[in-house]
Structure 1
């Protein structure tokens, strides 16, 4: 970790006692600030008129002088701001702000620092750039069933129109400097294309690649486009010369490029972000130079790591008989591989033993053949299912969900306990503004800070009070969450990071004293395997066939932080149960190994709830919550949905029986 420049120093020599008190007071106030000189996966744009640079850093918009130096913070909103772009006259900055379930576009007036939202639609909007006339913007958005399309908005009138509609996604549009030609990235299936639409001519594919393409940018004279191209795990900067035929040349390689377009000061001088820095480069040079910046931010308050209170779960109405579940493979949530030919003995609703296959004289043995035994799935942040409770509980169990945590104030903690009305265990979460924990009440397993709640003294004190009681705090918005010292952050894909997993100073400053756990919230319409999920037996028979909304343009890479991710499905908007399996697929697509995916909905989730060794693992003394599946879920996350049966608190339910209950007009006994 690089050294952090603190604005904290003795302003007078210690021997000058008359000035000592003054120095101490100055230190106390100054030590709250840290100077950040590096960023992770940030974006920068240069204004050609005077060379000022606008950048996004730690969710804020900053302006850096042309020669570098002290950056001026332009936004201090609760929503993280990304991808700033100067207007052609330099009077405004266009940027994207992300909330839990959408991304919107905003305009910032540079002189007054006033920000205003563009439109009020709830669509996913990103990759915005200006038309050279300064009155129109172009961006990508999903507003139908054709994926991401290119849209344009006239700012004076607010009117918008679609200018592309192809199968797959069209992203990252950018106009040429004369406003006559448009370039963008198109992705269809696993193929990427750099597309050029010349004025009055048909579109042409300048470049077709099996590897991801990103961040097109026009050279001011229109002679070429620069583009980032992924090569394995790294990116390189390439140029497509607009000759006939077009020529592709690699321009810069061997740097940790951030997926942001090159910005041009003029036809000879470019600017881009890589290796944690803003870099400048003359077109004919072989080396880049750094443009140094200093961004002064508040240092996160020092606090000890929250010691999560240990919870003890009760079993209500346990089954009387002893039961042995026998399968070909067992993933216990402890080892990172299977244990073969194991028996799980269940007694009184708990796991009494996990042993190699043997004869049992005093228990009923259910030999399920070539199945894999998994711990019951935990959804650490779930919506409550709709519909009658007699159907909703079996519907979630049919997906293997045996425990959920919800902030729905209408839930009943004993809703699905016992044999007559099966369903998952329901644990409570509270809102930090209204949550009160009185003696004898059901405990909160975390309290939530909503995206719009103020980062003020009262909120910080409430956070610290709950943490002192062993209750972790969840922030819906990571920008606010890092500031108040939250333990859990939602939306693993929204936290900035290097494309190759590099750790730079901005995130080190943000989290170095406050380790956080990320709640996934990754799945959307483009998650790999979504079509097969919606075609599963459970989804078909339960009528759950609608795609979720679009929230990301590409799958984030999260392998580097896999150990600190737990599964939470509420952000993706799908029905509970189905939503959990969408998250499992999204985590696998983000680079997690099979055992890491299962731990995210198993032992890792149990740990942050204070329920370690009670749920999320198959071990003696734990609750008898099991999911029995066909296939190899360590090798293929989709096999977690090939469910044969579910065990909840020691009671065995076949998938067929659960689906019958879920579709019945009244509870089936």
Structure 2
């Protein structure tokens, strides 16, 4: 049964928060409406709708049976619920913002232990069985997970990263004493007690080797009980009352419950959590259902849990694609102060500029459609190093001579150099050599005179900008230092690399907290060698250092507003930094700060032509039909009319494009793509070449994405229309270079202020953002008139999150609440998506590879030449995908079909820069059971509606984004690979012209 209606969202959320009274105050947090929305025009969204519904199966949850066998505790969608052991209605006993998991009963049945996410880390909690008296029993900034109550009720065993990597710990509930039980390089997780309390079994993983081990509860030597075969992982061990070892084994064939090496779960897909025991009966979860197994027979314990969603309603900001009035440039990329403090160099609108440090109108140093990035002054102030693809192909390092105005190409390498940094003597330049997705790069040095390149470090996980020690001995970069091998997120700290290639790199830490981001957060070494600057808490910090980077004191704060990308003056007396939409210079001696005002605007590039397209077929993405022999009239950047072909329609046209053998469709929209500077302008040309005329970028460096958007709007960078955001907003730790480790509520408010100032098109809340802080981001985003996206599904769907990314995707839990083993999704997630109005971007990883295996002719597609060699190698290879990824395809396709049939809003996206992945994604949707037309809609009209974009369909008044393909995509979705011509924002371009532009960017 489903009950729904229109209600007040905050009243409903407050009712759901009765178990969290201390959190309700955040609901009333005032949010000022911003006039800095993406556009002054706004439109009102539909009236908010709430839905209450019941679900009878769930995704990625565990079950624990009470000692008396009468009740079951489950952790469905981040809350603990109690279900009668015979089945029935589930009663929620913890709040919706707890992210509570893996319940374990006390021996007397009065309480449950569990782990819950608060203030950026998981902690062990207990709660009375009726939901009262919740207590936090561990503390700190490190994660504690997977509690298990001892049979005597005196101790809780749990897994924790507090010892460096995950190990098994125990907590004495009387004394509060913590004891580390296991040690070493192995990652130890999921402890469970023997019936006599003498032994703890647990799962362990060292490298790729997974095992089940046992150790005396009082400490001692761990004994390996079972070692998994290669490709198999063991999880969730448990000892039956009779001492038999049960655990979950997972590999590419499935996930099963095993007893001492033998599967006991038939064809079930078992969730990776320990079974729970009542005498000799085991309770566990498989295929979304609670199972009770006894004497080799399995029974299902049916339950019903009531969930609620709220579809957000707010005044939606609408991008202005019509006005040609001047617009202030906001995308100032990597501004750098000259050594004599008189000039600032930066990239904006696709080109290199300088401006007086007192402000004014910038001077343009480069011109053309090439992509420029990362200006860096030579120590003598005579030369600016920068990255550009102006030589054709992909980016290289260039030098601009300020006296002559001439540019010289410095590198000619197969991978792409960015983030140039001059050595103190001006003879060498350190740079990041990008050779992987999302900023994976090595650290290299090039000799300025000869061009010889030396690699100092192989591929690193998304390092930050290099900074030289003033004696030239070291190059420092920011790297994420993980807390364990079980989770990739870590603290941004400083990685010191000997510049002569001798000796091993080593870590240096400024404080016990993370630097904000590796994408512009420092560190920046002062020219005199006595200090380092970086961004922490959203603020500019400076601290004294020794010659090897050792911190000699605490950081001092030099800003009170959101700050980014510090660069030093040559005399080490002042620092230039970005503060939201401003440039500022601070004196370290006096602390005085002054703004650098810029007189810098651009205008929207709109054609003034009248063009007529005569096409043999037309699919408007609204009606499941192919119209034949049609004319499309384009005036400026909009469709003026669509009518049956008539020669008279061509009269007065500035240009007629006669394509009777081609079919017109709306320009495609990739709803989840991450532009990268290392792919250069070619990536933008490639999007058009594959028919993609709009991309939504849900995570980037703060100013890089804005620069992409403005360069596109100004017509400088030929490519798709861009909807962008700033960094992935994390909490206290992060993984991606484009992420920010938000240190607390005040820092979060600073990030919100930058989002307003830079007019982001959306805000992205990432995986370790606590639910209550995500609620704050929802309020802030909606006050701006833009959506909030995350990886979360619940309580995200309750508090008004607009979009969830990926069917699986990264989760702070180590498992996904949207997807279980073999890529399968169950009743709870499907119903949440169907009722909430949230969009879901599945991102079917490997879909293009599967398509290319079936259609190898597309591996020779000339458009792939637009990408780096290492990218082309991925798609040119006929090497099969990993078995684990292939095993998930059927489950993910079934999930897509179920979400679609359940009313969920599927919007197509790829999570990548490589454009053909979008078409691969659509072929997977057709394989899932959508018709080719329905799949086409997920990349046209549906994402356009989600963006509030007047495109995505072919009808008068819409923006003129049109793709001409050879064939009818309603009959065969693979027709989308056969793009012949594109009209982007009213400007037509052929495939051949796009490929030629990639070779000549002057």
**CA–CA separation in structure 2 for the residues paired with 1:221 and 1:152:** 12
Q: CA deviation at 1:553?
A: 5.3
CA deviation after TM superposition for structure 1 residue 58, in Å:
0.6
329, 336, 343: which is aligned to 2:624? 336
Which residue, 862, 867, 885 being the options, matches 1:542?
867
How far, CA to CA, are the matches of 1:524 and 1:658 in structure 2?
Answer: 26
Would you say 1:629 and 2:962 are equivalent positions?
no
Do residues 473 (structure 1) and 473 (structure 2) align?
no
Q: Are the aligned partners of 2:281 and 2:293 in contact in 1 as well (CA < 8 Å)?
A: yes
Match of residue 290 from structure 2: 278
Structure 2 vs 1, CA of residues 84 and 226 (structure 1 numbering), >3 Å: closer, same or farther? farther
Contact 1:419 1:651 in 2 (8 A): no
Query: What is the CA–CA distance in structure 2 between the aligned matches of 1:500 and 1:162, rounded to whole Å?
Result: 27
| Distance (whole Å) between structure 1 residues aligned to residue 958 and residue 817 of structure 2 | 34
Question: Are 2:837 and 2:904, in contact at CA under 8 Å, matched by a contact in 1?
Answer: no
Equivalent residue for 1:59? 78
Matched with 1:313 is 321
- Counterpart check, 1:216 vs 2:256: yes
Q: Is the 8 A contact 2:840 2:905 kept in 1?
A: yes
- Residues 350/276 of structure 1: CA separation in 2 closer, same or farther (3 Å cut): same
The offset of 1:331, in angstroms, is 1.6
Measured in 1, the distance between the counterparts of 2:104 and 2:922 equals: 35
Instruction: Specify whether residues 47 and 355 from structure 1 end up closer, same or farther in structure 2 by C-alpha distance, changes over 3 A only.
Output: same
1:466-505 per-position Cα deviation (integer Å, ceiling 9, x unaligned)? 425542222232245235321222224455489998755x
Task: Work out whether residues 150 and 173 of structure 1, in 8 Å CA contact, stay in contact via their aligned partners in 2.
Answer: no
Equivalent residue number for residue 362 of structure 1: 652
Between stretches 628-637 and 345-354, larger displacement belongs to 628-637
Preserved contact between residue 777 and residue 788 of structure 2 (Cα < 8 Å): no
Q: Which residue of 1 aligns with 2:845?
A: 523
Measure how far apart 1:654 and its partner are.
1.6
Deviations 1:549-606 (A, max 9, x none): 9879513222243354343646x3x325244344334444444332222222211111
Q: Residue 203 of structure 2 is aligned with which of 127, 137, 141?
A: 137
Measured in 1, the distance between the counterparts of 2:971 and 2:204 equals 41
| TM-aligned CA deviation for residue 330 of structure 1 | 1.8
| CA shift digits 1:519-566 (9 cap, x unpaired) | 333424797426559826123552423379987951322224335434
Q: Conserved in 1, the CA contact under 8 Å of 2:673 and 2:913?
A: no
Report the equivalent of 1:399. Answer: 690
CA distance 1:427–1:580, change in 2 (3 Å)? same
Q: Which range moves more in the overlay, 309-318 or 348-357?
A: 309-318
d(CA) in 1 for partners of 2:798, 2:222: 35
Query: Quick one: distance in 1 between partners of 2:723 and 2:818?
Result: 31
| Superposition RMSD in Å | 5.5
1:414 aligns with 2:414: no
Asked whether the 8 Å contact 1:39–1:507 carries over to 2, the reply is: no
Say if 1:259 and 1:267 are closer, same or farther in 2 by CA, change over 3 A. same
Counterpart position of 1:116: 160
Show the counterpart of 1:594: 932
Q: Structure 1 residue 326 and structure 2 residue 614: aligned?
A: yes
Q: Which residue of the partner structure matches residue 953 of structure 2?
A: 617
Equivalent in the alignment of 2:888? 554
CA distance in 2, matches of 1:565, 1:303: 12
CA–CA distance in 1 between the matches of 2:995 and 2:839?
34
TM-score, normalised to structure 1, is 0.65
Measure, in 2, the Cα distance between the counterparts of 1:403 and 1:268: 59
Listed one character per residue, the Cα deviations across residues 426-448 of structure 1 (whole Å, up to 9, x for unaligned) are 22335675234899x77443223
For residues 78 and 488 of structure 1, do their structure 2 counterparts lie closer, same or farther at Cα, with a shift above 3 Å needed?
Answer: farther
CA contact (8 A) 1:84 1:94 kept: yes
Larger Cα Rg: Structure 1 or Structure 2? 2
Alignment of 1:10-159 (within 5 A): 32=18, 38-45=56-63, 55-60=74-79, 107-111=145-149, 116=160, 135=201, 137=203, 151-152=210-211
Quote the Cα distance in structure 1 between the aligned partners of 2:848 and 2:645: 43
| Structure with higher RCO (Cα < 8 A, 6+ apart) | 1
Aligned equivalent of 2:668: 377
**1:384-417 deviations in whole A, cap 9, x for unaligned?**
2323754342132222221123343223233124
Asked if 1:567 is matched to 2:903, the reply is: no
The verdict on how the C-alpha distance between 1:459 and 1:626 changes in structure 2, with shifts beyond 3 A counting, is same
Q: What is the SS of the residue equivalent to 1:656?
A: helix
1: distance between equivalents of 2:634 and 2:303?
Answer: 63
Q: Say whether the 8 Å CA contact 1:306–1:470 is kept in structure 2.
A: yes
SS in 2 for 1:445: coil
* Contact 1:397 1:424 (8 Å CA) reproduced: yes
The yes-or-no answer on 1:446 pairing with 2:780 is no
Between the aligned partners of 2:222 and 2:967, the Cα distance in structure 1 is 52
Q: What SS does the aligned partner of 1:482 have?
A: helix
Q: In structure 1, what is the Cα distance between the partners aligned to 2:717 and 2:924?
A: 31
Which residue in the other structure is 2:989 paired with? 653
Cα shift at 1:164 = 4.4
Aligned counterpart for 1:225 among listed residues 264, 284, 309: 264
Tell me the secondary structure at the aligned position of residue 373 of structure 1: strand
The answer to whether the aligner puts 1:485 opposite 2:776 as a matched pair is no
